[in-house]
Amino acid sequence: MKWIYNILRISGLKNQELLEEYFDHYTSEYEYLLEQGDSEELAHSKVVDAISKLDVKTINFEYFKLKHKNKLIMSSTFTFLFAAVIFVFGNFDEPPSIAPVEMSGHSITSGYGERMHPTEKVKKLHRGIDIRGKLGTTVMATSSGIVKDAGYDKLNGYFVEIQHDAIYTTRYHHLSKIDVQKDDQVKKGEKIGEIGSSGLSTAPHLHYEVLEKGKNVDPALFLKV
């Protein structure tokens, strides 16, 4: 039941011990549901739903207070509040922070925003940026995470989608080759595939998207070349 572990991990639970305990909890629940006659799919969706309702931020905060209780009593309230603020706002673990390909020699041929679609000839929102590159150029994960989806569809060709934390997801389209599978853990900078022209594409390029809480944002904001 690695998927349960993975979902919990990306939910943002900070404490390893708690993570193990919740893993046992939800695996027990999953096993119980199967015993009760639920199909694997139904049990899966019930467990995913239950985990999504878990108030991870509050749990992390409770845990933080617990861990630092002795220190807190001695130090001033002000220091505590300061630490708490850093903790809460430091919750954005790993936003994408590198370019998905070595940028030297590669150029962004199409930016984020509205544009004429090159093959469909209509005005459309371009949800990502296009980076031109040679067929076979290495495409890297722009932050650590878990492969949420990887496969092929007519429009996007061979694609990979990575969930980095509770907030950020990235997508990589039109690949010629995929090196990862759904549920794989990937590290920042790890190779996930190669540039190609699969799907609705006219020349080898990487279409790269960044999503913040499920909404597309301009990936150029996250490129550090």
Residues of this chain that interact with another protein (CB under 8 A) are 17-18, 20-25, 27-29, 32, 50, 53-55, 58-59, 62-63, 66, 69
Alpha carbons 164 and 184: distance in angstroms, whole number: 12
Q: Greatest CA separation found in the chain?
A: 67
For 43, residues 6+ apart whose C-beta sits below 8 A from its C-beta are: 30, 33, 34
**Pair of tokens at residue 127:** 């949800």
Q: Does 174 bind Zn ion (CB under 5 A)?
A: no
Q: Does 130 bind Zn ion (CB under 5 A)?
A: yes
CB of 169 to another protein, least distance (A): 24
* CA 95 remoteness from chain centre: 9
Alpha carbons 191 and 200: distance in angstroms, whole number: 23
CB of 104 to Zn ion, least distance (A): 21
CB of 188 to Zn ion, least distance (A): 23
> 122 contacts which partner out of another protein, Zn ion, none, CB within 5 to 8 A by kind?
none
* Strand spans (E) along the chain: 108-110, 113-116, 123-126, 129-132, 138-140, 145-153, 157-163, 168-178, 185-186, 191-195, 205-212, 215-217
CB of 36 to another protein, least distance (A): 12
> 207 contacts which partner out of Zn ion, another protein, none, CB within 5 to 8 A by kind?
Zn ion
CB of 13 to another protein, least distance (A): 10
> 130 contacts which partner out of Zn ion, another protein, none, CB within 5 to 8 A by kind?
Zn ion
> 54 contacts which partner out of Zn ion, another protein, none, CB within 5 to 8 A by kind?
another protein
47/141 with CB nearer another protein: 47
Alpha carbons 205 and 134: distance in angstroms, whole number: 7
> 76 contacts which partner out of Zn ion, another protein, none, CB within 5 to 8 A by kind?
none
Q: How many CA within 13 A on the CB side of residue 76?
A: 3
Q: Site for Zn ion (CB under 5 A): which residue of 195, 198, 207, 222?
A: 207
The answer to whether the CB of 138 falls within 8 A of the CB of 175 is no
Query: Which 8-state DSSP code applies to residue 196?
Result: B
50/203 with CB nearer another protein: 50
> 49 contacts which partner out of another protein, Zn ion, none, CB within 5 to 8 A by kind?
none
Which residues would be at the binding site for Zn ion (CB under 5 A)?
A: 130, 207
